[in-house]
Amino acid sequence: MKKYMLKKFIISIVTLFLVVFILFLLMELMPGSPFNNDKLTEDQREMLEAAYGLDKPVLYRFLIYVKNIFRGDFGVSYNLSINTPVSLMISSRLPVSMAIGLGAMALGSVSGLLLGFFAAFSHAPGSGKYGKIADSVCMAISVIGLSVPSYIFAIVMSYFCGFRWKWLPLLYDFRKPVTSSLMAVISLSIFVAAVIARYTRDEASAVLRSDYVLFAISQGLSNGQILMKYVIRNSLMGVITVMTMLLVGLLTGSLVTERIFSIPGIGFLMSSAIEANDYNVVVALSFVFASIYVTARLLLDLLYGIIDPRVRVSGEGR
């Protein structure tokens, strides 16, 4: 297990290094420059480039960049808010996006798992007609959640809960972070819940039809025992994979939802940075996204090992 995790860890580090390298190169290849301003003369532009070190060769700049990353220095913003350290810009916004993302993930997972397990048990062998109807209802809810974009829910909710009935604040407020981000959390969690419900239902009903559950039934185990000891753990493997992917999507912020509730998160920052050609912010944010992804993968592998003894012993990832 230790060897397995060490291997995964080294692979993660190498992946991150490659990500930074490719990002840096891509940015270099992009047309335009942060100083695309008609009012600047050629001399002024060269002066600016020299001041920020942009006149040096690419490889040299890359090495300096990597060296600085280790000190937590991602350079300064060229454009959005000139000369502010990028790390500061990100660190003030990342927690907001992450809190909302984690909240949506938690809410979506719990409701998705409940809905999925309920649906799976409803259409388990021998459940009868009403079970089939219950299953269909659950899956219809899931299809709606999957096909309607989260910003629709966000707009509808902000109209009713925020504007008409005035239950919740319409916009994000630093003084009331919980209540003011609640609508964003809910609207983002609907998609998560729908995806998880779908996967949980499929995985759990496959487990319910497996030979080992049939054997357990033939031994006279109760439905509760079969659920707790057999179904949950064996169906979680597939679900957890999807959960990680969803979590990464949520942690990196949602552009539209953040705009609707004017939440100062990193999704918002990313789109502005791309528009403004602000190299350092884009690269740094991409690096942060990649780190979140790699960390999530690493945690996922660790979780696999905990849940499935086969991974633990053989040391082979899935």
- Binding residues for another protein, per CB under 8 A? 125-126, 210-212, 214-222, 225, 229-230, 233-234, 307-310, 313
Q: Give the shortest CB-239-to-another protein separation in angstroms.
A: 14
Q: Give the shortest CB-245-to-another protein separation in angstroms.
A: 22
Looking at beta carbons only, is 166 or 310 nearer to another protein? 310
Using an 8 Å Cβ cutoff, are 186 and 153 in contact? yes
CA distance 308 to 25: 40
Coil vs helix vs strand at 169: coil
Looking at beta carbons only, is 64 or 237 nearer to another protein? 237
Q: Give the shortest CB-233-to-another protein separation in angstroms.
A: 5
Looking at beta carbons only, is 72 or 126 nearer to another protein? 126
CA 114 to chain centre: 21
Tokens 């690096």, residue?
287
Q: Give the shortest CB-307-to-another protein separation in angstroms.
A: 7
Measure Cα distances from 305 to 1, 223, 253, 302 in Å: 8, 27, 29, 5
Of residues 151, 208, 211, 172, the one with CA closest to residue 93: 172
Q: Give the shortest CB-223-to-another protein separation in angstroms.
A: 9
Looking at beta carbons only, is 234 or 252 nearer to another protein? 234
Looking at beta carbons only, is 50 or 214 nearer to another protein? 214
CB atoms within 10 A of CB 16: 17
